[in-house]
Amino acid sequence: MSRDVAVRCRCGEVQGRLRGVAPSKVNRVVCYCGDCQAFLHWLDRADLLDPQGGSDIVQFAPSSLTFERGAKRIVGMRLSAKGLSRWYASCCKTPLGNTVSPAVPFIGLLRQAVPELSTASDQAAVFGRAFPVQGKSAIGKPPKARFVRASA
């Protein structure tokens, strides 16, 4: 069963909606790459990395996401000329997500941009299990797939 979830930055200036979300319609990864870590450090938001340096990211089709408030506050940056476009809310430095290029139709939204899903059970019910990727840059050994059964 799919559902809509609210997307927002930490201070609430940027707000949107992710429509029709279900584990079968998204990919969920925890990325340990150096660039994902560098982006959060650049924002002074390393507190959002897990203990091994991972970023919890939900990937989905761009047509699923709309912003209803604060779109002017969404800004982008790249760590290198060929790197991902990384998007954040300029009002409070909340990382929102990343895109590869217009030719690759997905957005990787950082899970923290969906504050209503604050428990592992809620996250698993809506986004499914999180698979580790780019583990070579992890701090220590990254955990295996994170899966918490949703409560009935």
pLDDT in tens, 53-72: 999 999 999 999 999 999 99
How far is 146 from 141, CA to CA, in rounded Å? 14
> Which domains, and CATH codes, for the chain?
3-137 (2.170.150.70)
Which residues on adjacent β-strands are paired with residue 46? none
Average pLDDT over residues 93-109: 91
- Model confidence at 120: pLDDT above 90: no
Beta carbons within 10 angstroms of residue 104's beta carbon:
9
Exposed, middle or buried: residue 54 (CB in 10 Å: 0-12, 13-18, 19+)? buried
The pLDDT value recorded for residue 152 is 36
- Model confidence at 131: pLDDT above 80: no
Which residues on adjacent β-strands are paired with residue 89? 74, 94
- Model confidence at 7: pLDDT above 90: yes
The pLDDT value recorded for residue 144 is 67
- Model confidence at 149: pLDDT above 50: no
Q: How confident is the model at residue 89 (pLDDT cuts 50, 70, 90)?
A: very high
Closest by CA to 129, choosing from 60, 3, 30, 51, is 30
How far is 13 from 15, CA to CA, in rounded Å? 6
Going by the DSSP 8-state scheme, the letter that residue 130 receives in this structure is B
